[in-house]
Structure 1
Amino acid sequence: MTILHLALADEWAAAAGAGEYRMSTLGRTLAEEGFIHACADLDQLRGVAERFYTGVTEPLVVLAVDQDLLGCPVVFEVPPDADEAFPHIYGPLPVAAVVSVTPFAR
């Protein structure tokens, strides 16, 4: 199954060079949050962008992640302020698990 993650393009570029991505969400790391936020589909991703990335002016990219290549658990959980489950990646995201990177257009 493929899941999606919205990332700042600069942070993804740095991670691609390092071999793994460790940002959880806008301004928070995996170490701070405990997991990496992801989305099950484009509708969830658009909702996340509207709620949390409205004021972001830096370029964003959508990472398509193959769950089978992660090497860590993915748990679908319902956040306290939501009514649907979102995939949470409980570990660093290996660059090799990212099957495509697409610029995000609002």
Structure 2
Amino acid sequence: MIYHITTLQAWQQALIIGTYTHDSLVYEGFIHASKLEQTQATLQRYYSTQTNLVILAINLAKCTTEIKYEMADSVGENFPHIYGKLNIDAVSAVYSVFKDDKGNNTFLI
């Protein structure tokens, strides 16, 4: 399982279209994702001020798009990258992001 942070609106649009995409697919050639243990830090690093976020849990066995684990030099870790549009049936769960008692974005699985 890998995880992708997005807006609720983008996920709702994907449900209508039948596939999920992200601007990073156009500009970088892939959609960013995280392993579970990386997701909270990713949420804080890049999405700390955003609201109306969800986290997509992506079942690798159902994903029809190539996934590559590649080094993110800025944090020194390998992250999963999705090299194409994501088929929505690969998303096994959608988790809401909410503010904790310190005002930080977080989620529960």
TM-score, normalised to structure 2, is 0.85
- CA RMSD of the aligned region, Å? 1.1
Deviation at 1:29, TM superposition (A): 3.6
The yes-or-no answer on 1:52 pairing with 2:46 is: yes
Q: Normalised by the size of structure 1, how large is the TM-score?
A: 0.87
1:1-106 matches, cutoff 5 A: 2-23=1-22, 28-41=23-36, 43-57=37-51, 59-105=52-98, 106=105
Cα distance in 2 between the residues matched to 1:54 and 1:40: 18
Structure 2: 5+ residue stretches without partners:
99-104
* Rg larger for: 2
Question: Would you identify which runs of 4 or more consecutive aligned residues in structure 1 move more than 2 Å?
Answer: none
SS in 2 for 1:91: coil
Give the counterpart letter for 1:46 in structure 2. Answer: Q
Q: What one-letter code is carried by the residue in structure 2 that aligns with 1:5?
A: H
